Structure 1
Amino acid sequence: MIKLVQINPDGDATLWLTFSDGATARWSAADYIARDTVMTRPLADPAYFARAFIEAGSLAWPNGFELSADALHRRLDSAGALVREAA
């Protein structure tokens, strides 16, 4: 099971994610923010977005919005956005 092991802010709505398999990727929350739901609306505020944290290997915010590392990893991998270290 893939988990997040590190997150680093990289702009108002962007994070660098590091996964348990060593892969990294720059991830933007723009698609989620554009949905403008009760759970995603706070992410539009850069100060709130920066409060992201890892909970049980998933990406989370204080309002309870959470994204699984597996889903993020699959989506980033299919988009060709994952960077993997050479063996």
Structure 2
Amino acid sequence: MNPRVVEAVCHDNLTISLTFSNGERRKFDVRPYLQYPVYTPLASVPYFLQGKASHGTVEWPNEEDFCPDTLYLESVPDMNSPLGNAA
């Protein structure tokens, strides 16, 4: 099982800075997923910025979310995250 999200910061460029349960800081780009109907509401920056870490993933008010494995496997290391560098 891959690590789960414990902290998330959504940015106005439609990326998310993530901290995982193993201490890794990674960045996930949502833009490639906006072509799928379930994720089109996330194209609205004010709505996107409402995303929060919840139950090991990132969730928005209307219950859009990503599989925690997708967030981990499709994200890239982010040493410049506002959440700090990995330990």
Counterpart for residue 15 of structure 2: 14
Residue 71 of structure 1 and its aligned partner are, at CA, apart by: 2.2
Counterpart for residue 60 of structure 1: 59
Counterpart for residue 71 of structure 2: 72
Q: Please, what is the CA RMSD of the aligned residues?
A: 1.9
**Separation in 2, partners of 1:70, 1:64:** 17
Give the structure with higher Rg (CA).
Answer: 1
**Separation in 2, partners of 1:55, 1:17:** 12
Task: Give yes or no for contact 1:4–1:17 (8 Å, CA) kept in 2.
Answer: yes
Task: Give yes or no for contact 1:52–1:61 (8 Å, CA) kept in 2.
Answer: yes
Q: Which is bigger in relative contact order (C-alpha 8 A, separation at least 6)? A: 2
Structure (1 or 2) with the greater helix fraction: 1
Aligned residue pairs: how many?
80
Q: Which runs of 5+ in 1 are unaligned?
A: none
Counterpart for residue 4 of structure 2: 3
Deviations 1:37-66 (A, max 9, x none): 1x2111010000001012211111112211
Task: Give yes or no for contact 1:3–1:57 (8 Å, CA) kept in 2.
Answer: yes
Counterpart for residue 77 of structure 2: 82
Once the two structures are aligned, what percentage of the paired residues are identical?
A: 26
Q: Which runs of 5+ in 2 are unaligned?
A: 79-84
Report the TM-score, using the length of structure 1 for normalisation. Answer: 0.77
Counterpart for residue 82 of structure 2: none
